[in-house]
Amino acid sequence: MSFCRLAGLCCLTLLLTGCSGNWGWYVVDPTVPAGWINLKFLLSGLYYTLLLSFTAIVISIVIGLAVALPALSANRALRRFNRIYVELVRAVPILVLILWVYYGLPQMTGLSITVFWAGVIALALSDSAFEAEIFRAGIQSIDKGQYEAAHSISLSYTDMMMYVILPQAVRRILPALGNQLVYMLKMSSLVSVIGMQELTRKANELVVVEYRPLEIYTVLVLEYLVLILIVSAGVRWLERKLQSDQRG
């Protein structure tokens, strides 16, 4: 299914190429030595795009969970903490958060921070508010009877969450978590503004040298597209696997 869509897009690209005399595919033509070097240069950004996104998503899931649990507590102050965190973090644009963490945080704390970790922190923080909402909804969707059964075999709170509630909640929110991962992969392009050598930054740098924005950005679009189609397929595979687990 996704491959059909991909093939369709490639056809469209070729069609556009045919329609216009202005395309200069030589800049990224793998059969030409210079084009091959350019293409490798563009693809080399993949490493940091992936590392950045996956590190950030893991951290944001941990923070998200830690922020979601207080929302489910009977304690009013804890619930309020959750609301304030979610509202505040959600209100800051990601780009602004990236700039603030990279340029502002070191001045405030006196600690220096690498581009990579500034990017990870900003992406993770900004995403954590959404993860928190997803986890809250997922955990709340679990039947009360599951808690009661866990209590009745005297599981501790931690064991109950670890072995009974979260495994079920995670299965339910997996599609939403997959969406967040896709979102994260896309948003990681913003970290290029502070000089992170990921896909978008590489493309920008090549455009400055080669003056062929149309071809280079088209390659960039295709890079994200393929990456995200693969990740989505992976998430769907995981979903199916976990579902069939429950049926045996």
Partner 1 sequence: MVKTSFCAMLNLSAKAMIKVENVSKTFGDFHALKNVSLEVLTGEKVVVCGPSGSGKSTLIRCINGLERHDEGLIEVADNRLTHTSSSLRAVRSSVGMVFQQFNLFPHLTVKQNLTLGPVRTRKLSQPDADKLAMAYLERVRIPEQADKFPRQLSGGQQQRVAIARSLCMEPQIMLFDEPTSALDPEMINEVLDVMSELAGSGMTMICVTHEMGFAKRVADTMVFMDHGEIVEKAPPEQFFSNPGTERCRDFLSKILAH
Chain residues that interact with partner 1, rule: CB under 8 A:
143, 145-146, 148-149, 151-156, 159, 163-164, 167-168, 171, 245-248
At closest approach, how far in Å is the CB of 147 from partner 1? 9
| Residue closer to partner 1, measured from CB, 91 or 143 | 143
Tokens at 20, concatenated = 């216009």
Which helix or strand (DSSP H or E) is residue 145 part of? helix 144-152
Q: d(Cα 54, Cα 49) in Å, to the nearest integer?
A: 8
Q: d(Cα 134, Cα 150) in Å, to the nearest integer?
A: 23
At closest approach, how far in Å is the CB of 163 from partner 1? 6
At closest approach, how far in Å is the CB of 161 from partner 1? 12
Find where tokens 């690498």 sit. 114
| Residue closer to partner 1, measured from CB, 99 or 242 | 242
| Residue closer to partner 1, measured from CB, 20 or 152 | 152
Q: d(Cα 189, Cα 212) in Å, to the nearest integer?
A: 20
| Residue closer to partner 1, measured from CB, 91 or 245 | 245
At closest approach, how far in Å is the CB of 152 from partner 1? 4
Q: d(Cα 229, Cα 219) in Å, to the nearest integer?
A: 15
b/e per residue 116-143 (b: at least 16 CB within 10 A): bebbbbbbbbbbbbbbbbbbbebbeebe
DSSP 8-state code for residue 104: I
At closest approach, how far in Å is the CB of 6 from partner 1? 34
| Residue closer to partner 1, measured from CB, 31 or 241 | 241
